[in-house]
Amino acid sequence: MRRLLAATGILATSAFLLLASTIIAAAAPPDELVAAAQKEGRLAVIALPRDWCNYGRIIDGFKARYGLAVDELQPEASSETELETIRASRGNGDPIVPDVIDVGLSFAEAAKQEGLLQPYKVSTWDSIPDAAKDANGYWYGDYYGLLAFEVNADRVARLPVDWPDLASPEFRNAIGIAGAPGSNQTIQTVLAAGLSATNGRIEEAAQRGLEFFAELNRRGNLLPMIGNAETLADGRTPVLIRWDHLALGDRDALAGKTRIAVVRPRTGIVAGIYAQAISAYARRPNAARLWMEYLYSDEVQLILLSGRCHPIRLGALLRDRKVPANLLQDLPSPESDGKGGRAEPVFPTVEEQRRARDIILKGWDGIVGVTIECRPPEEPDPGPISGQRAPIQAADASRQCLPPSQTVQ
Q: The pTM is what?
A: 0.77
Q: Are residues 130 and 248 located together in one domain of the fold?
A: no
Res. 380: pLDDT tops 80: no
Do both 254 and 298 map to the same domain?
no
Same domain, 179 and 192: yes
Backbone φ and ψ for 170, nearest 5 degrees, come out as: -70, -15
Please check whether residues 84 and 188 belong to one and the same domain: no
Residue 245 lies in a domain: yes
Residue 21 CA to residue 349 CA, distance in Å, equals 34
Least confident of 143-147, 203-207, 281-285: 143-147
Q: In total, how many domains does the chain have?
A: 2
pLDDT in tens, 297-310: 999 999 999 998 99
Buried b vs exposed e over 112-129: b needs ≥16 C-beta within 10 Å?
A: beeebbbebbbbbeebbb
Q: In terms of Cα–Cα distance, which of 175, 184, 171 is closest to 150?
A: 175
Which domain range does residue 260 map to? 145-270+346-375
Closest by alpha carbon to 372, among 187, 166, 141?
A: 187
- Is 335 part of any domain? no
Could you report the per-residue pLDDT of 306-340, keeping only the tens digit for each?
998 999 999 899 899 999 988 877 665 543 343 44
Q: Are residues 60 and 40 in the same domain?
A: yes
In a domain, 399, yes or no: no
Q: 72 lies in a domain?
A: yes
Question: What pairs with residue 45 in β-bridges?
Answer: 72
Q: Are residues 6 and 112 in the same domain?
A: yes
Domain containing residue 35: CATH number: 3.40.190.10
Whether pLDDT at 17 is above 50: no
Neighbours of 240 (CB within 10 A): 27
Q: Are residues 217 and 199 in the same domain?
A: yes
> Within this chain, do residues 104 and 201 fall inside the same structural domain, yes or no?
no
Does 187 share its domain with 88? no
Q: How far is CA 342 from the centre of its chain?
A: 21
Q: Helix (H, G, I), strand (E, B), or coil: what is residue 147? A: strand
